[in-house]
Chains A and B, each alone.
Chain A
Amino acid sequence: MGPQHPMTHGLWNLRVRIEGEVIKDVEPEMGFLHRGIEKISEDRHYNEIITLMDRTCYVAGLNWEHLFIVAAEQALHIEPPERAEYIRVLSAELQRIASHLMWYAAFCQDLGLTTPFLYGMRDRDLILDLFQSYTGARLTYEYMRVGGVRNDLPLGFTDRCRKVVDWLMDRFVEYDRLCLSSTIFNERCNGLGVLLAPEAVAYGVTGPMLRSAGSHRDIRKDRPYSVYNKLQFEVATANTADVTGRYLVRMEEMRQAVKISRQCLDWLDDNPGPVMASQLPRWLGAPYAPVGNEAYLLKRNYPTGLGFSMMEEPHGEAGAYIVNDGGEHPYRVKFRSPVLINIWAAKRYLPGYRVADIPPIMGSVDVCVGECDR
């Protein structure tokens, strides 16, 4: 089921060996969107790599920016101000809702239900409008910077955000009613793609796929980064390790994301302040790395460091490991993509089902090929 297939939502290939209609073995084939992001990052400024992070995972751009920025700040020994951290968390949670809405739209369209596609895209557009009001873009924001964020929220943003978020909470009720009471949905999703928790852990599966099997692992709770240790929310789990469970987990995650956003908005309303760290090295403020003779003048006097960040992306556990050798470009940037591993575990949760079950099961994995291939 090749790179051009309505099921794939991106460029990846699934080789399926079937006997009749039953799947015997699968082999995913990736790499059709491998853009060498890790390699070209070695030639870029830290703030220039941010542009690549949006494009790495394009449905969850701000989450990947957050991931990279936390690792970069650890490698460069820079602390962002607290208001910047709250804005980052707010952006990450809104992006989580947007990503799950995109998943919801595409997943239901794969099952044949077209209304959720239109609803999901419509509500996602509301969130993207919010993003546009403070980052300037709908999809590739390039908003976070080492040391903080690029600009503060505009006036009146928190009220608009609250309105959108309240509207979304009502919509989630409607979505559940639309899908869970639909016979098509239930027939096609219940009991499919079962991946139990011990196997999931052994195969490195993370995110909603793992939590649908009953595990309570959520990095935001287990190893809080940014300001998550100050926020109250619950971990979304389900105990049917199937496609319906993953749907329920993602719906609940959206509700929890709304809860977190409201807390962030309340804090942001009460605490104005700077959004960029004040003590930044001079070269970090430069938009372009200089070429020519000036390049060696700026080299090699800055502290080295290692940055490691693991975050709970909408797709799973994503990580960044940055090696900073003292120059203005990182020496090595390595990303851990949750989708690559979740797809690879298809060897465990796909065989035994029918070919017609592949779209719901692979749809429940929430594939975003950009981060898988980097």
Chain B
Amino acid sequence: MSGQTPVPPKAVGPPAAGGAIGDMPLEVIGQPGVPFVEIETLRAREFIPAAKEALSSLLKEQAEEKLIRPVFNWAGRNSLFPLHWGLACCAIEFAAAFGARWDAERFGVVPRSSPRQCDLLIVNGTVTWKVAHKLIALFEQMPEPKWAIAMGNCATGGGPFRTAYSVVPGVDKLIPVDIYIAGCPPRPENMLDGILQLERLIKERGE
């Protein structure tokens, strides 16, 4: 196993503006303009300015656009670490996807227990109002760049429990979702397909 690959931050620039996530208190994290880094990425913190300097002397401003950012994007999308979190039935298929038959780890996907080490939140199962604020707290604890997948019908739009009094009709009412996987529950292959779609999406967005 590759082990503790740090989550690569964005090369430069402030975190994504707008939306609920953009309201993070920057003064807590660092000064505006400084990349959002975590303690595990200290090495990257030293690496990025050095690499930038070295390459910018070769390629001027194009270094960041053409070289650093695509490399980090490639590394990030191929090593998505989801949070070890299961809500309901879809979590069983999520767990089955990590078995030997549909080995999810060959895509670089390794579940981590702490949200600080993850960049992917797979919401697999019905979200209730009681757990809503904990879900938002977990999502906000995850460092940028991060993505969310709504797996299953319950996370997409409430599912068979949409009319229940305690169910949030879709997790996209709470956090921004990048990929929706349909199914009740989606087969493990569907979940893996969803993760691959997310990788394609990350590549397109160029984060």
Contacts and interface: CB of A to CB of B under 8 A. Distances in A.
* Physical contact A–B (CB less than 8 Å): yes
Interface of A: 2-6, 9-11, 31-37, 39-40, 43, 51-52, 54-55, 58-59, 102, 105-106, 117-118, 121-122, 124-125, 138-140, 369-370
Contact of B87 (A10, A37, A124): A10
Contacts of B125: 11, 33
Contacts of A52: 160-161
A118 B89 contact: no
A2 B113 CA distance: 12
26 contacts: A4-B134, A5-B113, A10-B87, A10-B91, A11-B86, A11-B131, A32-B130, A33-B125, A33-B128, A34-B130, A34-B166, A35-B126, A36-B166, A36-B167, A37-B161, A40-B161, A40-B164, A52-B160, A52-B161, A121-B99, A121-B100, A121-B101, A122-B99, A138-B185, A139-B89, A140-B89
Nearest to B131: A32
A125 B96 contact: yes
B144 interface: no
Contacts of A105: 95, 99
A118 B128 contact: no
Nearest to A35: B161
A305 B125 CA distance: 34
Contacts of A43: 163
Given A10-B86, A125-B96, A125-B101, A3 B166 contact: no
Nearest to B159: A55
Nearest to A120: B99
Given A6-B113, A58-B89, 15 more contacts: A4-B83, A4-B115, A10-B86, A11-B86, A11-B131, A31-B130, A39-B164, A40-B163, A58-B92, A59-B92, A121-B96, A121-B98, A138-B187, A140-B185, A369-B88
B179 to A, nearest CB: 20
Contacts of B187: 138
Given A55-B89, A121-B99, A122-B100, A4 B138 contact: yes
B3 to A, nearest CB: 15
Nearest to B184: A140
Interface string B143-168: 00000000000000000110111110
B72 interface: no
A224 B63 CA distance: 74
A100 to B, nearest CB: 14
A374 to B, nearest CB: 10
A10 B92 CA distance: 10
B84 interface: yes
Contacts of B101: 121-122, 125
A102 B92 contact: yes
Contact of A35 (B98, B167, B184): B167
B74 interface: no
Interface string B73-108: 000000000011111110111011011110000000
Contacts of A106: 95
Interface pairs A-B: 9 shortest CB-CB:
A121-B99, A58-B89, A36-B164, A32-B131, A35-B161, A118-B100, A6-B113, A4-B85, A6-B84
Contacts of B88: 10-11, 33, 55, 58, 369-370
A113 to B, nearest CB: 15
A164 to B, nearest CB: 15
A35 B128 contact: yes
A77 B160 CA distance: 28
A138 B85 CA distance: 21
A34 B92 CA distance: 18
A54 B95 CA distance: 18
Contacts of B92: 58-59, 102, 139
A3 B96 contact: no
Looking at A6, A32, A124, A125, the one whose CB has the most chain B CB atoms below 10 A away is: A32
Nearest to B134: A3
Contacts of A102: 92
Contacts of A58: 88-89, 92
Given A121-B100, A122-B101, A32 B128 contact: yes
A40 B158 CA distance: 13
Looking at A33, A118, A124, A369, the one whose CB has the most chain B CB atoms below 10 A away is: A33
A131 to B, nearest CB: 13
A54 B92 CA distance: 13
